[in-house]
Amino acid sequence: MLMHTSKSALHKALLELHVAIVLAGITGPLGRLISLPAEELVWYRLGLSLPLFVALSLWQQRPFPQLKRQEWAMLVLNGMLIGFHWICFFSSVKYANVSVALVCFSTSSLFTALLDPLVNRNGLRWRQVALSLLALAGIVVLFQFNVQYRLGIALGLLAAILSALFTLLNEKPAQHIPARTLSMYELLFAWIILSLIGPWYLHQHPFHWPGAADWIYLLILSWLCTVLAFTLSLSALKHISPFTINLSYNLEPIYGILIAFVLFQENRTLHLSFYVGFACILLSVVLQTLYTLHRHRLLRKQAATDQPIVQASSAFPSQEQID
């Protein structure tokens, strides 16, 4: 639902939003282009993104909020979730390919709806079960007939689950912590956690220094696909509702898959089973989206007539789904 705003401002906001979504869609292809292992790739991405987030927060001259110990603990947990989500996602890209990783990632909204009753103690609805079974059918097709991608599929699904948990646990902190500050803290804790794990990782694996091309791709990934994409989303939020932005981000996997088809011709190596599985998952996401739109309209009508509003389950990632 669009907010009341001028036509030119609305067009600018829509352009900013879709540029942000395209930038988010590029992350998968960049993960394939960067030669580093996923763990090191994420560590560099965090390290290169953080200074810009800090600079933007200081430039706005907004005081950092005073947080309670429980809130700090939640930020640490969310930082760990986003760090390992990124590792699983980029590992899926490397063990399978961009298209498979993004198809698996597209299930995150369904995992969010499915896990919401467990996290927020809401009742489980049959609609959630039915849509999840439809998505599961697509996953089974992918897993059964694409043997060479099984590890990548498993890692992609784990990335989707971690993204869903991050979304649900991020709802309460996002209510009173500015979005940019919240993301800055979470990325900081993600980088600290990965740095603490670093000695154990380096004991098991050799260290890889990025090549010249890797540095270019890492800077694009960190500064454009992370910081700029987030900044554009925040700017669009001034004229477009969070609900519309969250729905629009379901285009991210589609954009990413199309980019992978163009850059790497992945469509030539994918079998019919991929498209069948993708169709099942996409259908479940589309049905979930249509239901959410319907539910949103009902809630607005109830609010307009001062009737009691029934809480709708969270079906989509929070406004900033850093991916």
Q: What is the pLDDT of residue 135?
A: 86
Domain-located, residue 35: yes
pLDDT score, position 63: 64
Dihedral, 245, 163, 251, 188 alpha carbons, nearest 10:
70
321 found inside a domain: no
The reply to whether 310 falls in a domain is no
Range of the domain at 188: 7-304
Q: Do residues 78 and 169 touch, judged by C-beta distance below 8 A?
A: yes
Residues 178, 56 contacting (CB under 8 angstroms):
no
- Cβ burial, residue 12 (10 Å; 0-12/13-18/19+): middle
Question: Which residues have C-beta within 8 Å of that of residue 117, sequence separation ≥ 6?
Answer: 123, 124, 128, 313
Q: Does 322 fall in a domain?
A: no
Per residue in 275-304, pLDDT (tens digit) is 999 999 889 888 877 877 777 788 777 777
Instruction: Identify the pLDDT of residue 317.
Output: 38
Residue 170 φ then ψ, to 5°: -85, -10
As averages over each run of 10 residues, the pLDDT of the chain (323 residues) reads 64 90 96 97 97 85 76 94 98 96 90 84 75 85 85 96 93 84 92 96 91 98 95 87 79 92 92 90 84 78 58 36 54
Q: Is 188 left (phi over 0), alpha (psi -120 to 50) or beta?
A: alpha
Give Cα 43 to chain centroid, integer Å.
Answer: 17
Q: Has residue 315 been placed in a domain?
A: no
pLDDT on residue 4: 53
pLDDT tens per residue, range 221-262: 999 999 999 999 988 888 887 777 877 888 899 999 999 999
Return the SS3 of 2: strand
Q: Give domain status of residue 323, yes or no.
A: no
Residue 72: per-residue pLDDT: 93
Counting beta carbons within 10 angstroms of the beta carbon of residue 144, is it exposed (0 to 12), middle (13 to 18) or buried (19 or more)? exposed
pLDDT confidence of residue 322: 52
Number of domains within the chain: 1
